Structure 1
Amino acid sequence: MMKKLFLVLFMFSFCTAFSQNNTSAENILDKSSAKIKSAKGINVSFSLTQKDKQNQVVSNSKGIMKMKGDKYYINQDGSEIYCNGLQIWNFDGQDEVTVAKVYKDDNEFSPPQILTGFNKKDFNIKLVSSAGNNYQVLLTPLDKRQNFKEITLYINKSTSLISKASVVSKMNDTIEINFNSISLNASFDDSQFVFDAKKHPGIDIINN
C-alpha cells in the first residue's frame, strides 16, 4: 500500500519535473510547474485503479494528499504517510507506524521531488496528442533497469494541471490515477504533517 501512496506522488510530480527537446511538451510541463511551485498549499483528491496485463481491474482506491513546501500528508483507504520535511511516518491505519529520516538524495519517489523535479536527462518526453480537453504527454525512461516502461500524463488545457496519469510496468500491468480535484490555495498548520502517537495508544513504533 505504501508503494502505491508514493506512486501517487510520483505521478503528480511529473507535471512539475521535466522539460526536454520537444518544445511543445516542454512548454506544457513548464506552465504546469510554475502553477504548482507558486502554490501556498496544495490539496488533492485522487482515485487509483490497478489493472492487470489483460486490462482487467484488480483494485480500486481513493485518497487525499496535502502539501506545504517539503511537508506532506497522504491518506489512501486508511493508510497514511506523514512528513514534516525531516522525518516520515508510515502508518498502516491499525497498530503499526514506521518512522524514518528524510534523505534529500534518496532516489525513492517522494513529495520533495514534486517541486524539485527529477533529472530530465533520464527520460524521453513526447507530446503524443493535443485532442480534446487534455494534452497527452508520454515519458519513457532511458534507463531500462527501471521497473516501469512508460508513463502517460494528461494535462488539462484550461487549468494547466495534471488530471490523469498512468504507468505501465514491465509486467504490462497498469496503474491509473485520476486527480479529481487540485486546490492550490489551501492553508495547513504544520501539525498536520506530524504523526501524533498520543492519539494511538499502544501503537507499535518501528524506527528505521
Structure 2
Amino acid sequence: MKKIMLLLTVTMATNFVMAQNSDKAKALLDDVYNKVKSYDNIVVDFKYVLHNAEADINQETRGDVTMQGDKYLGNFFGAKQLYDGKKVYTVVPENEEVTIEDKSDDASAITPSKMLTFYREGHNYEWDILQNVQGRKIQYVKLTPIDSNSEVKSILLGIDAETKHIYKLIETGQNGTTTTITVNSFKTNQPLSNTLFTFDEGKYKDQGYYIIRN
C-alpha cells in the first residue's frame, strides 16, 4: 500500500510540474503573439537551412520578408513572392515567369504572414532549455503537433526573453529532415511605400515574362 501511495504521489507531482511547464510555455507564446500584433509592420531578414543527413541534403539560403497584416512581400530561393490580400504572385527571374494564384485554403499551410503566429493552434507546449546567445537570453519552447498524422515531429521555438521576438525556429520532420530558420534582424514599424504590396503585371509583361494563372 505504501508503494502504491508513493507511486501515486510521484505521478501526481510529475503531472503537476508538466502542467506548470506547459502553462508557462503558453504564457510566453501569448506574450510573443501580443507583441507581434502590436506592430503596424514587421521586416525580417533570416537564414534558412534544410538538412537531411540520410538523404545527403543540405540547403542554405538567406531571405527577407516584409509583413503588414496578412499581406507580405518575401525574397527567398531566388524568387519573389507577394500576397496583396487576395492573390499570391510568385516571380522567378531565372525562368522569366510569374505565377498568379488565389490564396491557399489550406489552414495548416505556414505562409510568411503566419510565420510569427502559426504556433497559436494545433500544438502541445513544453518549456525547454535557456541559451545565452551573444548576451541575449533565448528561451526555447518545444511544440508537438496534436495531430498524430502530422509530418512534423516537433518544433523548437527560440524566443528572446527580453524583446519577446522569435529568434530561431528548428523544425524536425518525421523523416529526419531538420529545417532551421534564424532571424538575423527584426525591424518593426518601418516606413513602407504605399505600393509595396501592389503587383504591377504590366511591368513583367513588358520584360517578356510568361504569366501563369492558376
1:24-173 maps to which residues of 2 (within 5 A)?
24-53=24-53, 58-94=58-94, 95-103=96-104, 106-114=107-115, 117=118, 120=121, 122-132=122-132, 133-173=137-177
Structure 1 position 175 matched with structure 2 position 179 = yes
**CA contact under 8 A between 2:21 and 2:127: conserved in structure 1?**
no
Distance 1:96 1:164, change over 3 A: same
Structure 1 counterpart of 2:108, one-letter code: N
What are the ranges of 5 or more consecutive residues in structure 2 without an aligned counterpart? Answer: 1-19
Q: Pick the aligned partner of 2:211 from 191, 205, 208.
A: 205
Cα-Cα RMSD: 2.4
Give the CA deviation at 1:83.
0.6
User: Which ranges in structure 1 are unaligned for 5 or more consecutive residues?
Assistant: 1-19
Name the CA shift for 1:116/1:123 in 2 (closer, same or farther; >3 Å).
Answer: closer
What per-residue deviation string (whole Å, max 9, x for no partner) do you get for residues 66-87 of structure 1? 0111110000142111011111
TM-score, normalized by length of structure 1? 0.81
User: CA–CA distance in 1 between the matches of 2:76 and 2:120?
Assistant: 28
TM-aligned CA deviation for residue 104 of structure 1: 5.9
Is the Cα–Cα contact under 8 Å of residues 74 and 82 in structure 1 kept in the other structure? yes
Residue by residue over 1:35-84, the C-alpha shift from the partner in whole angstroms, topping out at 9 and shown as x without a partner, is 11010110000001111136977121001100111110000142111011
What secondary structure is seen at the aligned counterpart in 2 of 1:192? Answer: coil
Alpha-carbon distance in 2 for matches of 1:112, 1:172: 26
